[in-house]
Structure 1
Amino acid sequence: MSAFSLDKFEITVGRMRAFVTSVDGNVRGHPPAEGAGEHPRIPGSGWRSEWNDMLPTDMADVNELLGPGCVAGGDPNEGGAPTWRTTPSENDKKPANCASWFLLFAFCIWDGGRLPTEAEFQAAALGGSEQRTNAWADSVLGGNALAYENGEKLVAAFLSPEGAGPGAFGMYTVGTPMRDVDPTTHMADDGDAHIAQVGVHPAGNGRWGHADLNGNLYELVLDESRPVDVTTGLPAGDVCNDCANVDWPKLTETDPAIVPFTVDDGADPVVVADIASWSKYYVGGARIIHGGSWSHAGSITNDQSHQNVVRFKYPVMRTYEAVGARCARDL
């Protein structure tokens, strides 16, 4: 990889608010220019005008898309956890979730950057040549497994208590240890309590000071997904210089290589309950998401053998309470 800069923090609600309010929510009417946000060494990696229709048209549209309209996680009273608020609040310091790949890409362009490639994000998470097991130095845990007691100061996540055996209930490293549940509906109703404000776990920062690389939200990157070698856990054709897979299908096309997740792939059983409808979200392909999130146990690692929860394809037209992004910048 050539030199680049990666933002220290995930895109926050406050930064997203500044973006959408600058055009009164009509991002579609003020879209990125054709080719904007292109990686300087990857032709064809910039914005495509066909994506303009995927952007919001006014603040009511924004409020719907980032709130109740979030495909997975829009209703806080039914286990959802959108961080967006219609007016400025303390949540402006939390990462923006429920945003589409298109809106995140448009934000980064507006902010003077671009989405990072998979290789760029992974380089930061691994600490480059150090090839860290987690974003923080391997010495931090002294060889011990990451659990609730030690993970609490390192990452925003859903983890098992220290010494807990198989099947033990997980606990959260932010907010109350267990989710609040409505006694009548039996649904979690504490919203985004377990999503941290960005940067609250500096002990878990990466080698170069990047926060929340292995937790809080999964992060979308530029690349379209590629087949994975089952032996190495790495994407096929993984040896290259300054490259990314940007052979994106058109929005009207369904990528034939994409197969929807199943519970056996490591996906949340609740999330895949609507599995029959997932194919429609793969129209236009899938993008790679990296890192762990607040809502999943066992994903807070850089170990590529955990490909289904660390690095995996995600439907490009599906928004999710546990997915966000950060921007990269050219040097």
Structure 2
Amino acid sequence: MHFFRSLAAIAISLVAGGACIPDVEPNVFVLPRCEQVAPSCGPEAGESCCAESEVVGGQFNRLNDAGFPATVADFHLDRFEVTVGRFRQFVEGYPAARPKAGAGAHPLIQGSGWDPEWDAKLPAGKGELRASLQCDANFRTWTDEPTGNEAAPINCVSWYLAFAFCAWDEGRLPTEAEWNYAAVGGNQHRAYPWGEEAPSQELAVFGCETTTTVCPIPGVGSKSPAGDGRWEQADLAGSLFEWVLDYHADLTGACSNCAALSDGGFGRGSRGGAFSHTEETLSPTYRIGELPERTLSFYGLRCARDE
């Protein structure tokens, strides 16, 4: 059963509290920090960029391998990768938007919140933050002023900045197990988020020859609904690699609501493939680590939340 937070639900609570609010469009789904984000996402560029849905937890095999069983509790996961328009609200509130100690924690994983020692890894101010988002002259999606690129997925974001954004947005980075669970449809153990069909340009954004071609990165959800996962998340394969909470580490045994929180020297994890990468990276079994301070044009994020 899918669960969405809607403007209509927010409207009801405001009315009950005596607030005066305008009429709202039904079935427009929003997250806490999305008041100024236009509904410009999805294949028709008319969906809320801030949609989320409930991922019903359960048991599954990480990497579709029976040697790595795991249990995941129910959680909520953004339908779309975080867009330029969503990220703009964070930038405008920066540096006040920087997280407090312990923010962005997984409620079932001790020690998973923001570590104040990471403060030094974030840009010092708004100007430095904007400069960091210009990591690639050809493929960056950020623009200092809104210029029609607001529905593109934000890239050039470090792991620290991704964590900080999700914490500011009253969420958190998903664990690698949670991300993997959503991408394979839980115990359905799909070969790809959409099912068993081999990747194609109708299902995912991938395969740009970036050494010879400047490929525009399309708005999030451009392959929806055909490329969506079981719980309606778009672009779990292709578009951008997505940072996860975990350090990149070898998987071991069974686990329940787990995350690798010890640095093994291989950076932080990410999943999902990218516009600039090959078909093999689209598989939910493909894992890669990267230095968390790096800002790359093929890295982005989506956030998770809890009840």
Structure 1 length-normalised TM: 0.67
The answer (yes or no) to whether the contact 2:241–2:299 under 8 Å persists in 1 is yes
The answer (yes or no) to whether the contact 1:223–1:245 under 8 Å persists in 2 is yes
Matches of 1:328 and 1:245 in 2, distance apart? Answer: 17
Counterpart pick for 1:60 among 127, 146, 149: 127
Per-residue deviation, residues 221-269 of structure 1 (Å, max 9, x unmatched) = 0001113xxxxxxx2x141111101124xxxxxx5x44xxxxxxxxxxx
Partner residue of 2:241?
A: 218
Counterpart pick for 1:7 among 78, 82, 97: 78
1:43 lines up with 2:65 in the alignment = no
Higher helix share: 1
Q: Secondary structure in 1 aligned to 2:85?
A: helix
1:181-192 matches, cutoff 5 A = 188=212, 190=214
Per-residue deviation, residues 291-317 of structure 1 (Å, max 9, x unmatched) = 11100112353353xxxxx21111112
Matches of 2:284 and 2:172 in 1, distance apart? Answer: 26
Between stretches 31-40 and 295-304, larger displacement belongs to: 295-304
1:315 lines up with 2:257 in the alignment = no
Per-residue deviation, residues 183-236 of structure 1 (Å, max 9, x unmatched) = xxxx6473x51x120011111000110000001001110001113xxxxxxx2x
1:329 lines up with 2:302 in the alignment = no
1:295 lines up with 2:283 in the alignment = no
CA drift of 1:124 comes to 0.7
Distance 1:99 1:301, change over 3 A: closer
* Runs of 5+ unmatched residues, structure 1: 159-171, 173-177, 180-186, 228-234, 249-254, 259-285, 305-309
Matches of 1:302 and 1:98 in 2, distance apart? Answer: 23
Matches of 1:244 and 1:289 in 2, distance apart? Answer: 13
Partner residue of 1:274?
A: none
1:117 lines up with 2:117 in the alignment = no
What letter is aligned with 2:232?
G
Partner residue of 1:241?
A: 256
Matches of 2:253 and 2:260 in 1, distance apart? Answer: 10
Partner residue of 2:152?
A: 94
Matches of 2:218 and 2:253 in 1, distance apart? Answer: 33
CA drift of 1:40 comes to 0.6
The answer (yes or no) to whether the contact 1:153–1:204 under 8 Å persists in 2 is yes
* Runs of 5+ unmatched residues, structure 2: 1-71
1:146-295 matches, cutoff 5 A = 146=199, 151-158=200-207, 172=208, 188=212, 190=214, 193=216, 195-202=217-224, 203-227=226-250, 235=251, 237-248=252-263, 257-258=265-266, 286-295=267-276
Q: Secondary structure in 2 aligned to 1:223?
A: strand
Q: How much identity, in percent, do the aligned residues show? A: 40
Query: Structure 1 runs of 4+ off > 6 angstroms?
Result: none
Matches of 1:45 and 1:117 in 2, distance apart? Answer: 10
Partner residue of 2:87?
A: 16
The answer (yes or no) to whether the contact 1:157–1:300 under 8 Å persists in 2 is no
Higher relative contact order (CA 8 A, sep 6+): 1
Q: How many residues align?
A: 235
What letter is aligned with 2:125?
D
Q: Secondary structure in 2 aligned to 1:90?
A: coil
CA drift of 1:34 comes to 0.6
Matches of 1:63 and 1:107 in 2, distance apart? Answer: 14
Structure 2 length-normalised TM: 0.72
Let me know the Cα RMSD of the aligned residues: 1.8
Partner residue of 1:166?
A: none
Per-residue deviation, residues 113-164 of structure 1 (Å, max 9, x unmatched) = 00000000001100111111111022xx3xxx43xxxx12111111xxxxxx
Partner residue of 2:66?
A: none
Matches of 1:3 and 1:124 in 2, distance apart? Answer: 11
